[in-house]
Amino acid sequence: MMSEIEKMASGKWYDANYNEELLKLRDRAISLLSRLNKLSVEDNEEIQSLIHELLGYEPDHLALILPFTCDYGTNISLGEDVFINSNCYLMDGAKITIGSHVFIGPYCGLYTAAHPLQYRYRNQGLEKALPITIGDNCWLGANVSVMPGVTVGNGCVIAAGAVVTKDLPDNALAAGVPAKIIRFIDQDEELTD
């Protein structure tokens, strides 16, 4: 028989609300985040130490503007030179993989949790977590929401306020609710005034 953590990691329905082991892991993250989010920018050494404890590793050149929220921390994988602006929430019941050179605007949410439509199952605390992947060199504008199971390709730009419900191919410019591809970005195009 699978544990609730094993069910969560494999994308099966699991008890997210009442399982003691998962509650303990979330309480650990809440405690670390509470300490982290009270620090000022001058407390860089302590900030780096708490980020390492929360994630289980030290990200390479992470710029994190506090406050920040996540569920576990240990399911977040960050590439090099990631910028995460203030008030972002990474709901990491499943793996959240963010590539290198990614800019995430303020108030963005990456949500891995899916809930049953039937309230009798929701009331039992059931949910499933599906992984989210953000490719290299992406930019998520302010208030972007990425839904469970979505993969965003390399070089994508997602306009502020968009809700991404489906995978996006490389170099897509997407906007809207739900997000639709507006056009593709020519990465060799020169800047104009």
Catalytic residue positions, numbered: 115
Half-sphere exposure of 103 (CA within 13 A, CB side): 10
Q: Is the dihedral of CA 166, 151, 182, 102 positive or negative?
A: positive
Number of H helices, E strands in the chain: 4, 19
**CA 88 to CA 108: how far, in whole Å?**
5
Are 136 and 79 a contacting pair, CB within 8 Å? Answer: yes
- Residues linked to residue 127 through DSSP beta bridges, in sequence order: 14
Q: What tokens appear for 145 in the block? A: 């929401």
Number of residues in the chain: 193
83, 115, 78, 108: which is closest to 95 by C-alpha? 78
Q: Where are the alpha helices (H) located in 10-87, listed in sequence order?
A: 20-37, 44-55
**CA 166 to CA 104: how far, in whole Å?**
18
